[in-house]
């Protein structure tokens, strides 16, 4: 019971800090944790054998592991869109976009998105 309460508390806290991620469902991370996913696909500091461990575990769990990888892929697509929207809204609110040209704006959004992902670690 303590684990369930702790799990729900962590979910509540992470949701309150990740408002732009409200519609993106982050997988449980049973086979692959968020740090590994972010290193692989966001920070480009990953393992070239990404996902191979799904075939090295019990055969009965291989499909569950692969399903989780698919869920991570969906989460990454959703979270990137949400973070870009959030970063754009923040830039507009703070009036950062008035003088930025295309490349400066793109650099700002990219850094903002990366910073949001770093905050998850």
Question: Is the pLDDT higher at 68 or at 50?
Answer: 68
pLDDT tens digits along 9-49: 334 334 444 455 668 999 999 999 999 999 999 999 988 88
For the chain, what is the mean pLDDT? 82
Residue with tokens 């990888």: 69
pLDDT band at 50 (very low <50, low <70, confident <90, very high): confident
Q: What does the angle CA 115 – CA 48 – CA 24 come to, to the nearest 5 degrees?
A: 40
According to the model, what pLDDT value does residue 99 have? 66
User: Length of the chain in residues, anyone?
Assistant: 121
Mean pLDDT of 68-86: 97
**Cα–Cα distance for residue pair 18/13, rounded to 1 Å:** 9
**Cα–Cα distance for residue pair 52/98, rounded to 1 Å:** 47
């Amino acid at each position: 019971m303590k684990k369930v309460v702790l799990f729900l508390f962590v979910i509540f806290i992470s949701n309150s800090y990740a408002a732009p991620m409200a519609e993106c469902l982050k997988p449980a991370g049973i086979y692959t944790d968020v740090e590994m996913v972010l290193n692989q696909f966001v920070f480009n500091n990953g393992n070239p054998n990404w996902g191979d461990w799904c075939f090295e575990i019990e055969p009965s769990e291989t499909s569950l592991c692969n399903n989780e990888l698919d869920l991570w892929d969906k989460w990454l697509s959703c979270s990137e869109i949400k973070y870009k929207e959030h970063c754009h809204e923040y830039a507009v609110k703070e009036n950062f976009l008035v003088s930025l040209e295309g490349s400066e704006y793109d650099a700002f959004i990219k850094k903002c998105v990366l910073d949001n992902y770093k905050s998850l670690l």
